[in-house]
Structure 1
Amino acid sequence: MILIVDDKKENILPLKKILELHSLSADSAESGEEALKKILKVNYSLIIMDVQMPGMDGFEVVETLAGSNRTKDIPVIFLSAVNKQKKFISRGYESGGVDYITKPVDSDLLILKVKTFLKLFEQQKELKNIRDILSKEVEIRKEAEENLERKVAERTRELLEKNQELEFSNHELQQFTWVVSHDLKEPLRKIEIFTKIIKDKYLKEDDKAVDYANRTIGSAERMGKLINDLMDYSRLSSVVLPEKMELSEIFQEVLSDLEYVIDEKKATLKLDSFPSLKGVPSQLRQVFQNLIGNALKFSKKDVAPIIEISCERISTKEFNSALSAEGKFCKIVVKDNGIGFDVKYLDKIFVIFQSLNDRSAYEGTGIGLAIAKKIIEKHNGLITAKSELEIGSSFIIILPLY
């Protein structure tokens, strides 16, 4: 549940509507005092806080929350249309806020930040729960194994210290997620390494403890992948000058990177000839690596993947445009014979954090196609898909040649 705090109803209603469109439930308070009363009764996962309000202002409310063990870890995003000066933004972070957004705000960016902070908050809770469970298991083992007790206690203390470091890092880094999110990788790597050491050396005889350790390792790996994908997504907002490039070279680089998976799956790839165009090579390489990687990942069991990549020159920037040898656009189609998807979910697949498949069977963060869509749009292009369950999918891209 998200709490919106603003003294003006006309500000609360559109925010609630934006959150509801993304299936995020929201509550509201029209003053700082009302917000504190509600927070005492309800466990909120995120607070969107106005700064300038009669009575207690937003800074005072957040400083009050920071003084309580129960509420100090609730992420708070300041949202203000008036207090845009650096001194107000600085005070927002100093009071305990994780971000400070000035109006007018990009609704897509707001939702992206909200979902990111919610994800980090839930990840933090999960790590705390697993840490507590592991501590209890260690206490049980201490009674039966005197010689192991000291080593397990030492390793457990180290794990708790690393967890506390991660919690502190999460609290600080949430303020600058889009700039320094790579700083989270190192503590995550240490949690994974130390948990593996504990599991392999001290928990072999306890299946339940091994299961909890494996969950911790899995959580750390998923978090690392999410950070990488979010960094990729956030980089797309920066301006990069396009350059003349050969699409055929991009595809060869992608196939080289995916060579192991292609061989492992015994996949067949059929490539057309491709024109040169102006673009950002690293970004377009990411698009086609994602599409071809998905075609390999979502292949049918015991059926060798067949991936066809065709290219046609067309006259206009439309999916149904006529072919033209002098056309200023190219239409690229990445077609596979995989598991496919129901076309009624077409709009959903390009939305960040959305996944149509069972994540226990198919790994992923739900960001790849959102990144692809944003890259293609930054190249003044279009992307869509056609699919049929158990038949396969075709992803269609239109890019300008000049």
Structure 2
Amino acid sequence: MVKQDEDRDALAEKLILANQELAFQNEEKEKRASELAVANLELEFQNETKEKLAGELIIANHELAFQNQEKEKRAAELVAANKELQLFLNISSHDLQEPLRKIQMAASRIETSDYLALSEKGRVHFVKMQEAALSMQTLIEDLLTYARTNSDERKFENIDLGIIIDEVLDELKDTIEERNAVIEVIEICEANVIHFQFRQLIHNIISNALKFSIPGKPPHIRISADLKPGNACLNDQLKQDLEYCHIRIADNGIGFEPIYREKIFEVFQRLYGRETYKGTGIGLAIAKRIVENHDGCITATGELNKGATFDIYIPTLKKPQHG
């Protein structure tokens, strides 16, 4: 009897343990089922996200293809426009200047053979006619130069800027001597530039400095050029991780009010009367376009009757060296 009770207790204990194990397994199954449900929801969400991203990628690819087609179209239009511009320039160069040449030739003949026969008033008008013809010739040449600046083939070469400056100073030799100007070249470096365009740029700025000098005061022009990293140029228009050739041309001329520092680069902008300072008002616009052709930047600072300074930044296309 005692043996049977012991066996019954042992079985009951085993049954309790079995029930506990079964309950634990059921809890684990429910936990796993819950985790599986969460995983399925997560998988479903991921699949929906993937489908959404795939759809967005298809749209982005279509947009990119469209943009590439537009770029190719614009590039083709630009090539065609440049060809038309070149044709226009060739025609304009002849059609605009030929009548002017005839006027100047006729004036030259009158000056040679009939000038003394003119009345005093007639001579005054004759001189004005010659000046107007010369002014028109200069305007046409400047306009053609401005228009050609973007259509010319861009052939860059690494050159010592001192060579270009010497060429310009030689071209302006007579004016420099006439004005008793002092040209001070402080420091010069090499730059990767379009030679003839850069010579035009330097010529325009130096000739402006000679022209807009204070009456009775010899022009003093300082020219320097050195290499600087973009982040040391104090100009937010420059790329900070590129190296630049920084050219500075400063003078002691009549200068300008600071509010005009951007306006002076616009076409036909003149801050002073034509009677006092001759010119077409295109020189600095040409200078700016040339700098832009070099992917650079030009700025002007000045103060009335205290001179002007032009800072030109041309990328060397090299990463600046550190340390």
Q: Which moved more, 1:297-306 or 1:211-220?
A: 211-220
Shift of 1:317: 6.9
Equivalent positions of 1:2-13 (< 5 A) are none
Determine the structure 2 residue equivalent to 1:210: 123
Shift of 1:287: 0.5
Determine the structure 2 residue equivalent to 1:179: 90
The one of 192, 195, 207 aligned to 2:104: 192
**By percentage of residues, which structure has more helix?**
2
Q: Distance in 2 between matches of 1:176 and 1:365?
A: 24
Determine the structure 2 residue equivalent to 1:224: 137
What do the CA deviations read for 1:242-263 (whole angstroms, capped 9, x no partner)?
Answer: 1222211111111111112112
* Letter paired with 1:312: D
Q: Which moved more, 1:365-374 or 1:231-240?
A: 231-240
Q: Normalising to structure 1: TM-score of the pair? A: 0.52
Q: Distance in 2 between matches of 1:264 and 1:187?
A: 33
The one of 276, 282, 294 aligned to 1:361: 276
Q: 1:240 to 1:321 in 2, by over 3 A?
A: closer
The one of 201, 225, 229 aligned to 1:315: 229
Equivalent positions of 1:274-285 (< 5 A) are 274-285=188-199
**Are residue 245 (structure 1) and residue 159 (structure 2) matched?**
yes
Shift of 1:274: 1.9
Q: The residue matched to 1:234 in structure 2 has which SS?
A: helix
Shift of 1:176: 6.1
* Letter paired with 1:182: S
Equivalent positions of 1:2-401 (< 5 A) are 177-183=88-94, 184-198=96-110, 201=114, 204-238=117-151, 239-316=153-230, 319-320=233-234, 328-401=243-316
Q: Distance in 1 between matches of 2:118 and 2:136?
A: 28
Shift of 1:302: 1.2
* Letter paired with 2:102: K
What do the CA deviations read for 1:62-107 (whole angstroms, capped 9, x no partner)?
Answer: xxxxxxxxxxxxxxxxxxxxxxxxxxxxxxxxxxxxxxxxxxx99x
Q: The residue matched to 2:150 in structure 1 has which SS?
A: coil
Percent same amino acid at aligned positions? Answer: 38
How many residues are aligned here?
A: 230
Shift of 1:211: 3.3
Unaligned 5+ segments in structure 1 are: 1-104, 110-174
Check the 8 A contact 2:115/2:123 in 1, yes or no.
Answer: no
Q: 1:327 to 1:214 in 2, by over 3 A?
A: same
Q: Distance in 2 between matches of 1:316 and 1:202?
A: 60
* Letter paired with 1:220: A
Check the 8 A contact 2:297/2:313 in 1, yes or no.
Answer: yes
Check the 8 A contact 2:150/2:293 in 1, yes or no.
Answer: no
Q: Distance in 2 between matches of 1:363 and 1:345?
A: 19
